[in-house]
Structure 1
């Protein structure tokens, strides 16, 4: 049984909005990242971006079709600054960065990466709760991953939607805990093995 931490959509053009709004979500994600690294837990970064010309953005897709039609669309290109991981969570050499093409993290080669890591359990953090978190929790649960959602390492632009997802929806398929509780559990697991 292997656990992997997924840090999702912590990229300049998305997570930056939460930092500007006074949210601690990036700081909390950073604490989770440091705890995972200290415990030897693999970390996988997930970001959303598109190829030049946006061939993945079907016009009939309400969310992503608009990107291809927008004059500001290039900001979501694979090499754009907006799609790069925020500096506070910069991946180390060897830590995989997965590029997804939709809301959910599995709209990518994430499943291949997780199989390579032999991951059976996922710890999820990301922005937004109603976007990447919701889509990824549902997909991962349907594929029998053990799931933990780090409540204070996710955020949403709608606080009520965020609350309902964390308190009522996610607990049906995942353990919902704080970064501190998760990190404390890592210490207890290490002590038990030691």
Structure 2
């Protein structure tokens, strides 16, 4: 493994896939129906699917983090988080438990993959993500998915605070505004971790099969 930087060493890293779900990514999902531009997520999905396949071939652990919301997790503070009054509760619209909108979009989960369910932006809040990663011997996380500046960046920041090495795979993450995506990439690179492309990871992991 000497030729592979330690952050991307399959013996210590995991590929983390955040919120690749219909409501966030599909043109038929709830966000698209409310006017969000999901074009970047749609275009990114095949690239991410390929990277997931490469990760599995290189024995990199793949961890899917999905969002679910229902009456057991919908607090007034959560639903009213962008309101001006404490009772300005809005109806949850994304990834409702048991609905097609919560299903995965553009990717397939294998039996050997890990699936973590979260109810907030960060995958570490109220979940066993940290325990799972520690148990697997993982200390470096490669982040992908949607939305770059919301759930991806929130989980990435939280991972650093839990003492993981963190990396953003910039062309396997997407959001609804190019400016927001680029700002998040810049913030990560300046303050939290490294930024890499899927092509660069492929060059590292593909070399394993030829050694």
Indicate the TM-score class for this superposition, using the shorter chain for normalisation: 0.7 to 0.9
Q: Give the Å deviation of 1:8.
A: 0.5
1:10-31, CA deviations, whole angstroms, 9 ceiling, x for partnerless residues? 0111122489526421112112
Give runs of aligned pairs for residues 1-194 of structure 1, distance below 5 A.
2-17=12-27, 21=39, 23-51=42-70, 53=71, 55-61=72-78, 62=81, 69-70=90-91, 73=92, 76-86=95-105, 88-107=106-125, 108-166=127-185, 168-171=186-189, 172-188=191-207, 194=211
1:11–1:84 Cα contact (<8 Å) kept? yes
Cα 1:173–1:33 change in 2 (3 A) is same
Please, which runs of 5 or more residues in structure 1 have no aligned partner? Answer: none
- Does structure 1 conserve the Cα–Cα contact (< 8 Å) formed by 2:18 and 2:151? yes
Q: Specify the structure having the higher radius of gyration (Cα).
A: 2
State TM-score, norm by structure 2.
0.78
- Give SS of 2:110's match: coil
Higher helix proportion (structure 1 or 2): 1
- Figure out how many residues of one structure are paired with residues of the other and give that number: 185
Superposition misfits of 4+ residues, deviation over 4 angstroms: 17-20
Distance 2:57 2:98 in 1: 30
Aligned alpha-carbon RMSD (Å): 2.5
